[in-house]
Structure 1
Amino acid sequence: MTNENNAEKAMSVEDVRAYSENYNMGSAARANHVAANAAVKNGVIKAATSYEGTRELTHDFSIELKQGSITDQQRSGRCWMFASLNTLRYELMHRWKLEDFEFSETYLFFWDKFEKSNTYLENVLATLDEPTESRTFEAINAYPADDGGWWQMFANLVNKYGLMPKSAYPESANSKDSDAFTQYLTTKLHQDAIELRERHSKGASIDELRTLKKRYMEDIYRICVIALGEPPAKFDWRARTKDDEDDDKTEAQKSGPKFDKASKTSDGSTQLDSAKTDANNKSDNAQGESGIDERKQIVEHDITPLEFYHKYVPVDVNDFVTLCNNPMKERTFYTNYELKYSTNVAESGDLSFTNVPIDVLRQAAVDQVKAGHPIWFACDCMQYCVRDGGYFSKQAVRVDELFGTDFNIDKANGLKYGDYPSNHAMTITGVNLDENGKPNRWKIENSWGKSTGTDGYYVADGEWFDQFVTEVIIRKEFLDAKTLKATQAEPVKLDPWQTLSARCE
């Protein structure tokens, strides 16, 4: 093509001059200069934050769930895991009357890295004859052991490995800041994939390759242990319950753990015995005259993670389903979709998502919160987010006013063109219903620590929820009959690059 023909594609000096003149012309010039001063000095989000929009989006809700302390994923992509554990810890805390509780995120992080590595190598074995430049192999090879995930990945890990309190397996430098660990784990996995494919090209059998893969996994285990520490097979746990004025136990407490009461020995030390709490052990005497905390305790010795999960978590992770809202015409509603190569645990199978209209997804979320249960959800957290103060709202972030242009991509096209991908998971712990019973504000527990939002919590308005929330995890009991039937249908299989949902980090 000649330079003459290329010239018509270029932005000319005259074009740029005209744009500059329009920018600096007349009444628009003042608004443009004020906007530029604000944005250059403070950044786009702060410059676009509307005091009117934030004032209208109050942090009060008609229904709120009392949750534990705010958690912090720090410099890692474990939001999906934190949100999942925050959902379950609420249920555990309220069943066993604990003031606060936190699961070990590092424990599941360890097994997720280990299982993703195995799944990656299995996927390599399943695609030995695929060209490395094929779309399938590129999808498999892109992120063999990244931090991201979905609720169903979490369920896979819990089913296989159980759970434990954070005290049994605390954070490490590489769980709080996972980049270097993930980088070299990925490099090792790519090296293993290269060798598997080269040996295949020289005639090695699949049995020989799988034997080699198991040797590779010993290296992977060692890398994970050195980075994170070896997970304990058994652990001890002790927790004090909240004061109980009438000293009644729930049915679960009666049949579950052993409650110990602190007592003072003749030498002044404190010991634990299984003596029954007497009628004098009321809330106003939980800390006795001696200053000893005499609240009842749950005590476990040498309990396994699976035993802990089955004994203390009062919900089954398999009783939840993933509802998504993808209004693209290529993704029909009330259809169950399965995403190929999506699992983290090879033997668990690929992940499924039931696509429903937004009003169905929204109502299921309202019903679950009204019944007293938090909700794991996925969204595009980068859209219209004010970290200072904690807002998700197009009325709070007026980039349209700042830049003097509209931003009107609908949800279907936002997903199709990759502008609204799900990239973050959080927990819904409250909702405000208007006079017609419709949600206009959602209370959101984040995992970015207490320094963001309002003490770690955010509020999202109803418009933002409808446009940028892509998935919610709902207990089956809160599904209408049509949706429940759709979740049980034979899934339509999608290739990993076909748009439906994306891993959260």
Structure 2
Amino acid sequence: MTSTLSPAETDRAENGEEAVLTPATLQALADGFAADPRAVLAQNAVTRAGLEQVAVNHARQVSISTTVSHRLDDWTVANQKKSGRCWLFAALNLFRFETRKQLGVKTFEFSQNHAMFWDKLERVNYFLTDVIGTAGRPADDRLVTFLLAEVMGDGGQWNMAMNVFRKHGVVPKEAMPETESSSATAVMNRSLRTLLRRAARDLRDLVATGADEQALAAAREAVVADAYRILSIHLGTPPSSFDWQWRDDEGENHQVGRLTPQDFFRLYVSVPVDEYVCLVDDPRPEHPKGHPLTIEHLGNVIGGEPVLYLNTEVELMKKLAMDAIVAGEPVWFGCDVAQQMLRTDGLWAADLLDLEGVYGTELAMSKEDRVRYGESLMTHAMLLTGVDVVDGVPRRWRVENSWGDEHGDKGFFTMDDSWFNEYVFEVAVRRSALPEPLQAALAEPPLALPAWDPMGALA
């Protein structure tokens, strides 16, 4: 009789007899746990208080001062709420640092909703172009399944944010305020994903039946129009122009008149976005330091800049970030935010939570191994607004988060420098601050990593 087992099932059937979890094995596990007083104590504590409260290294927690020698922030934090727009919030927070001075106000926000609207629409068009370009591959091809699985998330990267701002400009928050869906994107994103997966089916069918470029373009444009309608229903219609007037903190009224978003970007964003480059710490040795990297199929605006990284040592990233803050400029960065964090206290340190002590199990991995085996990648972007410097070396960092003002120091967090080493992956700095060899390296052809590489994770 012919076996109907898959190769993996056959291997297990032939070689895994001793690996079966028998009743005797399970009983031995239960008996062993009950006989271990430390395990029982940990169970009693964690089931009542939660893992974070039990695992916190109290001595480490209280050793982390929240004061820093160089601090730039004197404003209130923003709140991305139930959305993944941190990368846009962090970029707009960087912009508003100088814009507030220009306007003579302490409190000002750009519209994050406006930025998200255009990123979403551009990303629809980008996705559909990828669908047509991969239509000759089978539907279960790894790239095709990856593109379909990852479609229409909220996250992004520095270059993607700059693509949106260069093309679509920016507006003050009052010109396109938050909506229910901009602050809680799950329902809107689900509808957009359904639209785009259906469109992927239809476009692939058109290619399979020999449709010409004109027919494909018409089908793509129809989907873009549908997406625009959905986005407008959820987020509001972005203004083509708006009346701009403000009152500064001295009480003086300033009346400018009608501006386009592109006008507002040109007049009120003084950050020279074209001068910035993203440094990353990719710890895998097959990706050499001092060499540019890019990620295939990662982007949002057709014709915009690709996502480009320069792979460098983390010590250089820290030095350039420290120098920028000391010189008076905050720094956009990307990290693996949830690792070794006390959210309520607003603290990060590499040894802040003693999980191994609670579980009695070894969990430590190197940064390289965490990246290689899926344990760590970029999940969040924020703004470095302060640094504590001792003898020319950073000791801790002050961070503007975008989670509202309920945690940490009214929404500002403190990062021990040990955490930067382990969990920060990316900083955006001025090209001119790089050593000459690294400036020259930016002209080299980048190493293209596949779409699913961890360095392609969206903050």
TM-score, with length taken from structure 1: 0.85
Quote the residue 1:409 is aligned against: 365
Quote the residue 1:472 is aligned against: 427
Quote the residue 2:7 is aligned against: none
Shift of 1:50: 2.4
AA at the equivalent of 1:357? E
AA at the equivalent of 1:417? Y
What root-mean-square deviation, in Å, do the aligned CA atoms of Structure 1 and Structure 2 show?
1.8
1:179 aligns with 2:186: yes
Quote the residue 2:126 is aligned against: 119
Quote the residue 2:21 is aligned against: 11
Contact 1:98/1:239 (8 A) holds in 2: no
Contact 2:350/2:422 (8 A) holds in 1: no
Contact 2:277/2:429 (8 A) holds in 1: yes
1:190 aligns with 2:146: no
CA distance in 1, matches of 2:387, 2:48: 36
CA distance in 2, matches of 1:4, 1:237: 74
Show structure 2 runs of 5+ residues with no match: 1-9
AA at the equivalent of 2:458? R
Quote the residue 2:402 is aligned against: 447
Shift of 1:202: 1.3
CA distance in 2, matches of 1:152, 1:340: 14
Contact 1:335/1:354 (8 A) holds in 2: yes
1:141 aligns with 2:124: no
Query: Match of 2:303, SS?
Result: helix
Quote the residue 2:215 is aligned against: 208
Quote the residue 2:385 is aligned against: 429
Contact 2:163/2:305 (8 A) holds in 1: no
Query: Match of 1:348, SS?
Result: coil
CA distance in 1, matches of 2:444, 2:249: 44
* 1:402-458 deviation digits (Å, cap 9, x = unpaired): 222333211111111110111111111111112x22112111111111112231111
CA distance in 2, matches of 1:402, 1:389: 20
CA distance in 1, matches of 2:14, 2:128: 52
1:328 aligns with 2:275: no
Change (3 A) 1:3 1:141: closer
Shift of 1:338: 1.5
Shift of 1:22: 4.7
CA distance in 2, matches of 1:231, 1:4: 62
Quote the residue 1:499 is aligned against: 454
Quote the residue 1:223 is aligned against: 230
Change (3 A) 1:104 1:355: same
CA distance in 2, matches of 1:79, 1:121: 25
| Match runs of 1:332-371 below 5 Å | 332-371=288-327
Change (3 A) 1:395 1:499: closer
AA at the equivalent of 1:399? L
Query: Match of 1:430, SS?
Result: strand
Shift of 1:17: 4.8
Query: Match of 1:322, SS?
Result: strand
Quote the residue 1:313 is aligned against: 269
AA at the equivalent of 1:190? R
AA at the equivalent of 1:313? V
Change (3 A) 1:4 1:472: closer
Change (3 A) 1:219 1:208: same
Query: Match of 2:310, SS?
Result: strand
CA distance in 1, matches of 2:332, 2:379: 13
CA distance in 2, matches of 1:431, 1:172: 35
Quote the residue 1:59 is aligned against: 66
Contact 2:282/2:311 (8 A) holds in 1: yes
CA distance in 2, matches of 1:43, 1:98: 43
Quote the residue 2:77 is aligned against: 70
* 1:69-101 deviation digits (Å, cap 9, x = unpaired): 111111111111111111111121134332111
Contact 1:394/1:464 (8 A) holds in 2: yes
CA distance in 2, matches of 1:139, 1:322: 25
| Match runs of 1:77-96 below 5 Å | 77-96=84-103
Change (3 A) 1:15 1:215: closer
CA distance in 2, matches of 1:18, 1:197: 54
Contact 1:340/1:350 (8 A) holds in 2: no
CA distance in 2, matches of 1:133, 1:456: 44
1:164 aligns with 2:171: yes
Bigger CA drift: 485-494 or 108-117?
Answer: 485-494
Show structure 1 runs of 5+ residues with no match: 244-294
CA distance in 2, matches of 1:487, 1:135: 30
AA at the equivalent of 1:481? E
Shift of 1:393: 1.5
Shift of 1:212: 2.0
Greater Rg by CA: 1
Query: Match of 1:58, SS?
Result: coil
CA distance in 2, matches of 1:61, 1:166: 31
Quote the residue 1:289 is aligned against: none
AA at the equivalent of 1:131? P
Change (3 A) 1:95 1:479: farther
CA distance in 1, matches of 2:148, 2:225: 20
Bigger CA drift: 137-146 or 166-175?
Answer: 137-146
CA distance in 2, matches of 1:373, 1:137: 41
CA distance in 1, matches of 2:13, 2:163: 58
Contact 2:159/2:306 (8 A) holds in 1: no
2:355 is matched with which residue: 382, 399, 408?
A: 399
Change (3 A) 1:57 1:207: same
